[in-house]
Structure 1
Amino acid sequence: MSRIKRWINMHKKEFNSDGTLKDEARQQMLSEGANEAAIDDYADRLKSEYDEWKLLDETDPEPWPVYTAYDFFTPTEKQQFNPDGTLKPEYIESELKKGTSEGWLSEMERRKILEVENYNRVSARKAEMGINFGQQEMNRLRASSQTYVQRRQQMEVDLRNNEEPSSLPFDKDTAF
């Protein structure tokens, strides 16, 4: 989202959404013994920061990649589900032929729809605060997948060094 939304979120207790100091905040500072000049200086410095961030948003907006819940589906889930969480008709048909109950398929669909709705709700709430939830989740997944590869490589070394199987991060019979 925008820098300015993040600024507003950081300073919302003391500042209005246009970057000006709230009267209540000024009164609070005065009641705590701050003098007018110091308050004005503080308000001017943060208003300048606000104006700078706003200008940056207008002239050099930050990239905001948009990720949907579907971007986080596994390859298998992408074969089974539509982006909205409903089951694909061809998947339903093939599963019914295999003997899977309609009730179970309905439950799978219900759960996935809830998962998609939850992702959308959290993403929208975070966007209001200037946080790109989808980008955060994608970064987390990338980091954990790199960690997995590194742990697996270390396990290969540990196996060559005859380490105790209980100290390995994965079961040696299923890790490779």
Structure 2
Amino acid sequence: MVTTWWYTHGLWLLRRRDAPGDIRTPHNLLQLLPHKPPMVLLDDAAFEADGVCRGYRQVRPGEAFVSAGGLEPAALIEMLCQTVACRAAAVAHEGGRQLEGRLAAIQDFAFYDRALPGEQIELMARPAGRFGSLAKFYGEARVGPRLVAAGHVTLMSLSADAGSPENKA
């Protein structure tokens, strides 16, 4: 598995490919996250200049978090948390720091539907507020226009401004 990321035109871009390839960039966004395989659940991610981060995942049959009814809600929460962590890692890296934070809260999650095998999930995380070392994000999971889940994730920063909603990338 080859994973690359780069910053261009106001976006952090991340790509994972099954075939080996030439990595032309010096950094790997997934390696900046605290997650390690097989718990890295995102296939792709993009960090936009306006502070929104988007994560992408193809639901594959036979995976650990996929049942007969589709993707389990706990996996959607984890994917959204990883999308938020991608944003925090990108902001920290841009400031010359490593990601130093912890998940502080998961709140107000509602599940409207289940993503089925073969469907592409788009996860969106945008800053919703900050209080001291806590940064709150609103997130959604969609399959096309269909809202699958929505809720809030709060990170506690252990380093100054990592993941700060005010911190522009």
**In which range does the TM-score fall when normalised by the shorter chain?**
under 0.3
* TM-score normalised by the chain length of structure 1: 0.26
TM-score after normalising by structure 2: 0.27
Higher helix share: 1
